[in-house]
Structure 1
Amino acid sequence: MTKQSIQGMEVVETREKGTLSAGEPSTKRSITSIYDDDEVVGFEKDAEIIMKKLIRGTKERDLISIYGMPGLGKTTLTRKVYNNPYIADHFDVKAWCAVSQAYNRRTLLVEIFKQTTNNEIKIKEDDDVADMLRRVLIGKRYLIVLDDIWDVKAWEDLGICFPQGEYGSRVMVTTRIEQVAKDLQHHSFPYSLSFLTSEESWELLEKKVFRGESCPQDLLEAGLQVALHCKGLPLVVVLIAGMIGKMDRESSLWLEVANDLSSIGLGEQSMKVIQSSYDHLEDHLKPCLLYMGLFPEDHKIPVDDLLKLWMAEEFVLNAEKENMEEASRVCLSNLLNRSLVMVSGMRINRDVEYFSLHDVVREFCLRKLTEDKYMQLAMPYNPFQQLHSTESRLCIYIHDDLVKQLDHSDYQLDKIPTLDFKETNSLEFIAHPKLNTWNNRYSNPLDLVVKLRFVRALHLMDVLMPNSWATAVQSLTQLRYLAIYVRDFELEWISHLHNLQTLQVQSSKMLHLRAATLWEMTKLRHVNIDCLSVVWKDNYEGSFEECSTTMLENMKTFHTCHILFDKMNPRFWWRFPNLEELSVRVDYVPHEFPLFPILEVHTRLHTLSVDLTVMNFRQSVGWERNYVFPSNLRQLHLASYFLTEEMVLSIARLKKLEILTLKGGVRLMIFQSFCWDVTNLEFPALKYLTLLGMQMDEWKASEESFPVLEELSIVDGYTFKEIPPSFVDITTLRLIKLSDCAKSLRVSALNIKKEIEENTGCDRLQVVTIL
C-alpha cells in the first residue's frame, strides 16, 4: 500500500450540486478547506508514479487518470504533483480547473485560457474561446488538470480543445468513478488511489494535531486507537484531527472519540462528500447502496447473497426475469465504479467474492435510512412498474428501535408512534439482513416476523429456529428469499410461497424431500440445501419419456449434499434446462447412471462441483467411463475420485474450462504407483489449476499441455517430487502457490522461477510457499 497525505486538502467534492469551482488550487484558506497549513505528509510513492507517467512514456498527448472514493485525497495528490518544481519546469504551460457534474463548458475554457496565457489576453463576450485556447496550446508542451470529472462527456467537450502533437503534453483527470477512468484511458493505465495504512493514518493524525511535535507518551495509545478507527480514509483522519486538536489532551476523552467515531467523528463535511455521490446515483441504485448499510460494521458481504437479496426486494429496475442476476451485477458494478463500495475478497479467477462499505459510506447510509421516521419512499423499485411510474413504494426496514416499539405496543402496528398513518397494511417491510442483534434480545424472532406479513427477505441462518418456524411463515406469502437454520424441514411446509426465488436450508439431520413438491415452486432460482444428508423422493416410477414435462426454467444454481445417482437421475436434472451452477456430494454412483444423461440440455452450465463421499469412493471405479461433462463448463471441481485416463480425457474435452480443482483420490490401491501424464493432452483455456492432496507419484506435461495457465496451487503435495519442467515455457504463468508440500516440490518451483528469469530477464513468476 502506498503512502499518502493530506497536504492543504481542499474538498472540492463537498460543493453543492450545480455549482462550479474553477481555477488553480489556492493556498488561501477557504470555507471548504479542511486543512489549513502547508505541511506535507506522504504521497511520496504515489507522486513518484504519477510524475513518471507525466514525464516519461509516449511523446503523444496522454491522459493520466486517478480514481478512488471521495475523501481519499485524489485532489491532494494531483495538486502535489502539479506544484512540484520539476513538473513546473518540464511543461511550457499549466492549467487547473475543477469540473462538477453540472459544469459550464465556456466558463471552464475561459479559466484554462486565462491560466495558460497568464491572464494577459482579454476575452470578449463573442470570442470563440475553444479556438483561441487551441491556438495558444499548439506547439507547446502543456499540462492540464481536470479535477472531479463525472462522465466521459466532460472530456469530449473539453478535450477537443487540447491539440495532439508529439511534444509530450499531458492531461490529468481525477474521478471517483472507475469506469470513467477506464473509458478515458489513452496510453497510461488509470491509477487507483489506496487507503492509508494504520501507520500512515497515525503519522498524519500526529502531524496535524501536534504540528510537527511528537505525541506525549500518555496520549500515544489513545491516539493510535483514534487513527485506527479512521479506517484509512484521509478525509476522516483530518476531520478527527481537527476535532481532537481542540479538545483537552486527556486520553480518556480521545478514547471516547475512538469508541464513538462512527457517530460523532465523521463530521457533516464527510457526509456531504458521500451525499454528493449519492445524489448523482440513478434512482434504482440508491436503495441498493442503502441496503448494504444494514449489514454490520466491517462485514464482508457475500456478493452472491447480496444480489439475491436485491432481487428479492425488487431493487433491480425493469429487468427481464431471466436477466435479473446479470442486472443485479451491473448495479453492483456501478456502485463499485463510483467508489462507494469496496472489494474485500476475490476468487481465484479475480471475480469479486465479497464487498464491504467503508465506515464513512456506511454511516451515511444509516443516516439516510433513519431519516423521516425510519420510512423510505422508493420511486419506484418494482421492476414491473413503468420506469417513470408515479406510483411509489412505501417501505420500512426492520431496525432495533422498531423492534422495541413493536414490543411495547403489543405488536400492534397502528399503535407505533413513528407509523403515523392509517394504511399500515400497505407497508412493505424490509428485513435486516443480519439478525444477530435480535438474537441477544429475543429468544424467538418469529414473534416479530409473523406480524410483518409483507416481508420479502428473511435471513435467519444465525440462530437455530424453533420447531414452530413452519407455522410462523405460513402468513409470509410475499417471501422471495428464505435462509433458515432448522432441525426439520419439508418442502411441503413452504410450497405455498409461490414467489420464492432463493431457498437456503441448513440442518444437522438427514432430510427426505419430495421432488414432486419442488416442481411446483416454479419461481425458484437458487437452491442451497446444506444438511447431513438429502434423499430426494419421487413417487413417480414411470420411464424418463413418460415423466411430467414440468420444468424449473428459472433455476440458476442448485447446491445439495449427498444425492443418489439412480434411475431418478434423468428425470431430476432434465427439469433444470437453464442451470448455471451445480454442486453435489454423491452418495452412490452406479455405473449405469451418469450424472448428465442428456448433455445438450445443460448448455448454460458453467460451474460444476462433484464430491464423492469417502465411504463410496471405491464404488466409483468404472463410473467415469460414462462421465461426459457439459461442454460449456468454465469451472470444475472434482473430489475423491479416480483420475483415470477416461476421466482426464473428459476434462480435456472442455475447451472453455478456465478453473480446475482436483482433490484427493487417484490410486486404486495404497501401494500402487501412479503417473499423471498429460503430455499429449491440451487444456486450451485453463488459467487456474489447483491440486489438493493428490495421491500421485509423478506428473508429466508438455509445453502445449497448459498454454495459458496463470496460477498453479498445490496443497498437501507430498507424494510427487516436482512440477513438470515444461512449466518454464508457459509464458502466462505468474504464480505458483505451495502449501504443506514436500521440499523437493518447492525446489522445483524455485528452479522454474530461476530459469524463467535467466531466459527472459524478467522476474514475472512469483513463488509463494506456506509451510
Structure 2
Amino acid sequence: MELAETCGKGTLSAGEPSTKRSITSIYEDEEVVGFEKDAEIIMKKLIRGTKERDVISIYGMPGLGKTTLARKVYNNPSIVNYFDVKAWCAVSQTYNRRTLLVEIFKQATNDEIKIKEDDDVADMLRRVLIGKRYLIVLDDIWDVEAWEDLGICFPQGEYGSRVMVTTRIEQVAKHLQHHSDPHSLSFLTSEKSWKLLEKKVFQGESCSPDLLEAGLQVAQHCKGLPLVVVLVAGFIAKMGREASLWLEVANDLSSLALGEQSMKVIQSSYDHLEDPLKHCLLYMGLFPEDHKIPVDDLLKLWMAEEFVLNSETENMEEASRNCLSDLHNRSLVMVSGMRINRDVEYCSLHDVVREFCLRKLTEDKYMQLTVPYNPYQHLCSTESRLCIYIHDDLVEQLDHYEYQLDKIPMLNFKETNSLEFIAHPKLNIWNNLYSNPLDLVVKLRFVRALHLMDVTLPDSWATAIQSLTELRYLALYVRQFELEWISHLHDLQTLHLKSSERIHLNAATLSEMARLRHVNVDSFSLVWEDNEEGSFEECSTSMLESMKTFGHCEIDLYNMNARFLWRLPNLEELGLHVEDVPEFPLFPIPEGHTRLHSLFLHIYLPNFFVSFGWERYFVFPSNLRHLNFSGCVLTEEMVLNIARLKKLESLTLQGGFPFGRSQSYFWDVTNVEFRTLKYLTLLTFQMVKWKVSEESFPMLEELSLDYSLYLKEIPPSFADMPTLRLIELSKCIQSLGVSAMNIKREIEENTGCDSLQVVIKGTTFVPFDVTLF
C-alpha cells in the first residue's frame, strides 16, 4: 500500500460552467458547508485506530446530512486509496438481505463474477473480503436486526477494515459500537447556515448588502437543518431579490417545529412549481425508498405519461431534461450517480421529500387532472385527463374486486367512466404477488407505460397486450419477439427489450412506426425481407424523423443497412456492433447526422490483418461529443479520424490496441491534437508504450485507465497539461500508479497547487511478459 497517501482535498471537478441548463454540476458543489470538522473526525476513525474491524456510526435526525457526510468521506481520494475494497448500499426501513448482499458483492468484485440464483452470496462475499482491508457503508439502518443480518458477512481480521453506518436512531448507533464512539451529527450554527444559504442562492457570488439582514434571518429560522437550508435556497433563488419577500419566508419558518418545518419547506417548494413539475415530482415518490432511478428511463416515462410541457418544440427529451434540472436546482431531487462524461445517470429522492410526495398523493387519493403535453396536439389544447396513479393499495383492491372499478372503495363510481391510469413506475415489485403481472395490466386498458424488464414473461405476452393501444413506453424481458406483434401501437415512443434469444427487427415494419423515438434492444440485428428494398425505397414514411436513440444493433455494413441509417436523420444516440469487414461507409453522408452526439461502436474484425484499408469506412459525423469505441484496432488513420471531431468531449477505448506502421501496441500521438477532449478512458486497451505531447490533449480533465496490464508508465508530459484534474487507475500494474503520483508531485512543485487527484482502485498487478508482443 505504498501509494496509500492523501492525494489532495476536495472531490471530482466537473469542468467549466456552462450556460446550458444542466444537472451535470452536482459534484461541483459536493464540498458541503458545515461538514469539514465532522469529515475530519470520521476520516481519522477510518484510517487510524484499531487494526481490528470497527464500526463507525453517524447518527442524527432526517435532514442533518448524514448520507451527505458519509458520501463526502467515502469519495475522498485518501479513503479511496487506503482501502482495498469499497462498497456502498442503502439499507432503509424495509430491505431484502440477498439483494443488498448481491449489491455489495458486485461492488467488491467490480461486477466481474456472475451470481446464479442458487449461489450462497453471503459465503461468496465473505471469501472475497477475507484478507483485505475493506470499507462497507450501510446507509440508513433502522434497527439492530439489519446489522445482525448483514454484519456476519463481513469477516473479522487485523487489516484495518471498517463498516460505516448511518442511522437516525441513537440507540441503534450505540448498539453497533465496537471500538469507536458513535458520531452525533449536530445542527448547523447560524453562521454556517447562512454560509450554506448564500452559497446555494448566489452560486459563489456575495449577497448584496440590502438582502443581508433578511438572508441572515432566513438562515437562522432554518434551525440548523442543512436539508431545510438547501430547500429554502432552492425556492428563494427563484423569487425576486427583495428583502420583504425573504422576510416573509423567515416569518413562516420561525413558527414551525423541526419535523413540521421540513414538510412545510417542501410544501413551499412544491407550491412554487409549475403543474408539469408537480406531476414529475409526485411520480418519483412511487419508486421504492432509496431507489437509484435511471435518468434515461425516468425521462421517457415522464414523456409517456404526458407530464412534460413541450412548448414551441417537439424535442420532448430536452423539455424532460429541463424539468429534472429544475427539480434538482430546487434541491428536491438528488443526483446519485454520474457517467464519466458528467451526464447524470441516476437520481433519487431524499427520504423526507419522498415522504412528502406520498403524503400528497394520499391526500389527493392518488387522483389528479392532467393536461396532456402531447406534441401531436395543438399547443393551446386545454383538454384534461382524470388520472389515478396505479399504486400498491390500488393493486390489492383491483385484485380483490376482480378489476371492477365501480366496486373499489377508493374510487368514486361517477368518475370511473372517464378515469385513466398512470402506470406504477416499478411495476415489477408486484412479482411477489402475481406470477404473471400481465393478468392485472391487461384490465387497465389505458395505461401508457409498461415496464416489466425484471421478470421473464410467458410467450403469451404478445396476445395479452393487444388491447393496450395507448402504450407509449414498453420495456419487456421476453424469450421471443417479432416487431409485427406490436406494430399496431402507433403511439409507441420507447421500445426497450431484453431477450434470451437474439432478436431480429424487420426494417420495413420498423419504418411504419413513425412515432418511435427510442429503440434499445440488448442484442438484435436488422433484417430485410425478400423484395423489400423496392418497397422501402418507395415508402414515403420510411424517414423515421422522430427516432432519437437506436441500439444496440448487430449489422454488416452493406448497402441496405447503410441506407437505413441514413433514414434516421435526427438520431442523437446510436449503438452498433459491426460484424465483419465493411463494404460501405458507416455513415455514407456524415454531414447528414448533425444531431448525433453519442456513438457506441463495437467492431469485430476477425479478418483485420488481411483487410487493410477498412478504416476509410469510419468517418464520423462531425458533431459527436461522446465516442465509445470497443474492439478497435486503432490504426493511425483511425486516430486522425477521431481527432478531426471538433466537439468530442469524451472518448472511451475498450478492448483494442494501437496498430502503427512501425510498431504495434505503441500509441504515439505526439503530433495529434484532440482539441476538445475532456475525458479519456482506456478500458482493457492494450499497449506497451504511450507517447504524448502536452499539446495532444489541451483540454483534458480526467484520465482513467482500467485493466492496463502492460503499460508501465503514464507519459510524464501529462504534468504539463494545466486542465488535468483527475487520474483514476483501476487494477493496473503498480508502476503505473507510481508514475501517476510522480506527475502529481511535479504539478505541486511547479505550480504550488494541489490541483490533481490520483485515485487508485483495486489490486495492482505485476506486468505480464511483454516480449509476447
TM-score by length of 1: 0.67
Are residue 297 (structure 1) and residue 289 (structure 2) matched? yes
Contact 2:367–2:386 (Cα < 8 Å) also in 1: yes
Matching residue of 1:519: 511
Are residue 150 (structure 1) and residue 295 (structure 2) matched? no
Cα deviation, residue 535, structure 1: 4.4
**SS in structure 2 at match of 1:609:** strand
Match of 2:449 among 452, 457, 475: 457
Question: Once superposed, what is the RMSD of the aligned Cα atoms?
Answer: 3.9
**SS in structure 2 at match of 1:552:** coil
Are residue 684 (structure 1) and residue 675 (structure 2) matched? yes
Matching residue of 1:675: 666
One-letter amino acid matched to 2:706:
V
One-letter amino acid matched to 1:508:
S
Matching residue of 2:730: 739
Contact 1:553–1:578 (Cα < 8 Å) also in 2: yes
Equivalence map 1:204-223=2 (5 Å): none
Matching residue of 1:752: 743
Q: Distance in 1 between matches of 2:600 and 2:691?
A: 25
Deviations, residues 647-699 of structure 1 (Å, cap 9, x unaligned):
00100110110000011222679x97432111111111000000112222211
CA distance 1:442–1:619, shift in 2 (3 Å): farther
CA distance 1:321–1:700, shift in 2 (3 Å): same
Match of 2:219 among 75, 81, 95: 75
Matching residue of 1:362: 354
Matching residue of 1:349: 341
Cα deviation, residue 569, structure 1: 1.9
- How much identity, in percent, do the aligned residues show? 66
Equivalence map 1:603-682=2 (5 Å): 603-613=594-604, 622-666=613-657, 673-682=664-673
Are residue 702 (structure 1) and residue 693 (structure 2) matched? yes
Q: Distance in 2 between matches of 1:478 and 1:147?
A: 40
Matching residue of 1:283: 275
Deviations, residues 566-603 of structure 1 (Å, cap 9, x unaligned):
2222221011000000012222233x222111112111
**SS in structure 2 at match of 1:155:** coil
Q: Distance in 2 between matches of 1:612 and 1:345?
A: 28
Contact 1:2–1:45 (Cα < 8 Å) also in 2: no
One-letter amino acid matched to 2:545:
E
CA distance 1:357–1:53, shift in 2 (3 Å): closer
Q: Which has the higher contact order (CA 8 A, sep 6+)?
A: 2
Q: Distance in 2 between matches of 1:537 and 1:51?
A: 60
Cα deviation, residue 472, structure 1: 1.2
Deviations, residues 306-362 of structure 1 (Å, cap 9, x unaligned):
111111011112435631111111111111111111111122232222110111111
Are residue 47 (structure 1) and residue 192 (structure 2) matched? yes
Matching residue of 1:536: 527
Contact 1:512–1:535 (Cα < 8 Å) also in 2: yes
Q: Distance in 2 between matches of 1:474 and 1:452?
A: 12
Contact 1:369–1:376 (Cα < 8 Å) also in 2: no
Equivalence map 1:460-609=2 (5 Å): 460-531=452-523, 533-540=524-531, 542=533, 546=537, 548-549=539-540, 550-590=542-582, 592-609=583-600
Equivalence map 1:67-466=2 (5 Å): 75-76=219-220, 150-151=236-237, 154-155=240-241, 268-320=260-312, 322-378=314-370, 391-422=383-414, 424-466=416-458
Structure 1 gaps of 5+ residues are 12-38, 55-59, 68-72, 82-97, 102-145, 160-170, 176-234, 240-266
**SS in structure 2 at match of 1:628:** coil
Matching residue of 1:725: 716
Cα deviation, residue 726, structure 1: 1.4
One-letter amino acid matched to 1:154:
G
Matching residue of 2:77: none
Contact 2:629–2:653 (Cα < 8 Å) also in 1: yes
Q: Distance in 2 between matches of 1:544 and 1:597?
A: 21
CA distance 1:612–1:710, shift in 2 (3 Å): same
Deviations, residues 184-215 of structure 1 (Å, cap 9, x unaligned):
xxxxxxxxxxxxxxxxxxxxxxxxxxxxxxxx
Q: Distance in 2 between matches of 1:572 and 1:384?
A: 25
CA distance 1:689–1:390, shift in 2 (3 Å): closer
Are residue 711 (structure 1) and residue 702 (structure 2) matched? yes
Q: Distance in 2 between matches of 1:707 and 1:747?
A: 23
Deviations, residues 386-442 of structure 1 (Å, cap 9, x unaligned):
778664320111122222222222222222222222453422111111123310001
Contact 2:680–2:702 (Cα < 8 Å) also in 1: yes
Q: Distance in 2 between matches of 1:79 and 1:365?
A: 23
Deviations, residues 697-739 of structure 1 (Å, cap 9, x unaligned):
2111111110010000011112122222211111000111111
**SS in structure 1 at match of 2:559:** coil
Bigger mean CA offset, 381-390 vs 490-499: 381-390
TM-score by length of 2: 0.67
Contact 1:478–1:499 (Cα < 8 Å) also in 2: yes
Q: Distance in 2 between matches of 1:65 and 1:446?
A: 61
Contact 1:395–1:430 (Cα < 8 Å) also in 2: yes
**SS in structure 2 at match of 1:474:** coil
Q: Distance in 2 between matches of 1:269 and 1:48?
A: 15
CA distance 1:413–1:571, shift in 2 (3 Å): same
CA distance 1:45–1:529, shift in 2 (3 Å): farther
Matching residue of 1:193: none
Cα deviation, residue 540, structure 1: 4.1
One-letter amino acid matched to 2:511:
W
CA distance 1:153–1:395, shift in 2 (3 Å): closer
**SS in structure 2 at match of 1:305:** helix
One-letter amino acid matched to 2:750:
N
Structure 2 gaps of 5+ residues are 1-31, 39-60, 64-183, 200-204, 764-773
Cα deviation, residue 41, structure 1: 3.5
CA distance 1:729–1:52, shift in 2 (3 Å): farther
Query: Number of matched residues?
Result: 568
**SS in structure 2 at match of 1:277:** helix
Deviations, residues 155-174 of structure 1 (Å, cap 9, x unaligned):
25779xxxxxxxxxxx9999
Matching residue of 1:766: 757
Cα deviation, residue 40, structure 1: 11
Q: Distance in 1 between matches of 2:659 and 2:601?
A: 19
Matching residue of 2:98: none
CA distance 1:53–1:410, shift in 2 (3 Å): closer
Q: Distance in 2 between matches of 1:335 and 1:301?
A: 14
Q: Distance in 2 between matches of 1:61 and 1:512?
A: 59
Bigger mean CA offset, 646-655 vs 562-571: 562-571
Q: Distance in 1 between matches of 2:691 and 2:345?
A: 33
One-letter amino acid matched to 1:47:
K
Question: Which structure is larger by alpha-carbon Rg, 1 or 2?
Answer: 1
Q: Distance in 2 between matches of 1:464 and 1:542?
A: 35
